[in-house]
Amino acid sequence: MDKIISEDTISGVFLFGAGGAASWVLQGFVREGIPINGFLDDAADRIRTVGNLPVHAPDSVHVSISQRNKSTVIFAVMNPAVNESVTRDRLLGLGWGEVLSFGEFGRSAYRSSGKLCSMLDASDVGNHKHELAATRTLLSDDHSRQVFDAFVAFVTQLDDSGFPEITPDPYFPADLPRWPKQLRMIDCGAFDGDSVRAAIKHGYNIEASISFEPDPANFANLAQNNYAIPGAMAWPCGVLDRTTMLQFSAQGDTGSSISNDGGISIQCVKLDDVIPHFAPNMIKLDIEGSEEAALRGAETIIRSSRTGLAVSVYHLPTDIWRIPLYLSSVIGPKCQFYLRRHSRTIADTVLYVYPER
């Protein structure tokens, strides 16, 4: 049973983890008006702020022992490789008063104040029961339906009890059908080329790949890594439903995204405009909430190639039903849909689509 925590009984709240998911996790606290004092992360010398909040090392002299004792730390790391229990013991040993999981704190805050600090706005999910039901019927196995039900329960209640085990190997899970061995891959949100390298690791031959990555620091690493992969190409562009210039927040990590407050301008492209004859057999999209727009901009390619897809559906509250229903309308009934979760809570929830060819 989770304990009841009132905002009135604690003098400070810190989020542990300032990596790629930090800004996304912060959204729920900002939306609900739950004050956060800052972030804790061992990379505080490199990551100074998240959302204008300071990032401190867990043992920073800038947070006194007295303040640590009175503060609650929320473990908000989505990466399953980070051991939550070890982190909790370490923080308690450094004098932090209490260390709670994201779900523990969120459920407590909801019961005590009615504030639901889920990363996604629950009202957008709860008001679309018909669409959710239609999406659930598309899913091809019990594991997918379990992921789907747990996703909805977490967003609407912060209930994390129904999640199945985290599935390893994003984009190439062992329990799903394999992509064609000779891979013609489009990678949107390519970061440093890690997904193409993962394809090679899992036994695929890269016949050709086109990777899109607009963050300048990420693109520099991507371009360098591509030298060793024959057939690999990289474009320093974002991907949308139109070809245009937009503002972009460049973080130099996996959290970079299109933003009206972004510090740089980037070229965005519509895939149907720029590579109409590439004929991919696998498209991967992880582009921080622009996935549906990118898919709409690739509708002709998807229809003509009947390409497989691996699409992130966790960045926006509407993605979990809008993206599957849209793809079903484009591809038609002869298609399999699967959901797998590759990180903690709802992070890295990916829709896998296998059209009959």
Report pLDDT for 126. Answer: 77
Question: Which of 310, 287, 342 is closest to 204 using CA atoms?
Answer: 310
Structural domains present in the chain: 7-117 (3.40.50.20), 129-236+272-355 (3.40.50.150)
Q: How many alpha carbons lie under 13 Å from residue 215 in its C-beta half-sphere? A: 23
User: Per-residue pLDDT for the chain (357 aa), expressed as one digit of tens each?
Assistant: 555 555 555 579 999 999 989 999 999 999 999 999 999 999 999 999 998 999 999 999 999 999 999 999 999 999 999 999 999 999 999 999 999 999 999 999 999 899 999 999 998 887 899 999 999 999 999 999 999 999 999 999 999 999 999 999 999 999 999 999 999 999 999 999 999 999 999 999 999 999 999 999 999 999 999 999 999 999 999 999 999 998 877 665 556 556 666 678 889 999 999 999 999 999 999 999 999 999 999 999 999 999 999 999 999 999 999 999 999 999 999 999 999 999 999 999 999 999 998
Phi, psi of 147 (to 5 degrees): -60, -45
Residues 6 or more apart whose Cβ sits within 8 Å of residue 284: 171, 185, 186, 187, 188, 189, 195, 309, 310, 311
Residue whose token pair is 């190409």: 233
- Please check whether residue 329 is in contact with residue 303, taking contact to mean a CB–CB distance below 8 angstroms: no
Report pLDDT for 7. Answer: 54
Report pLDDT for 5. Answer: 56
The pTM score is 0.93
Alpha-carbon distance 151 to 321, whole Å?
11
Report pLDDT for 6. Answer: 54
Q: Cα torsion for 210, 170, 214, 232, to the nearest 10°?
A: -20
Report pLDDT for 273. Answer: 97
Question: Which of 74, 7, 8, 10 is closest to 40 using CA atoms?
Answer: 74
Report pLDDT for 14. Answer: 97
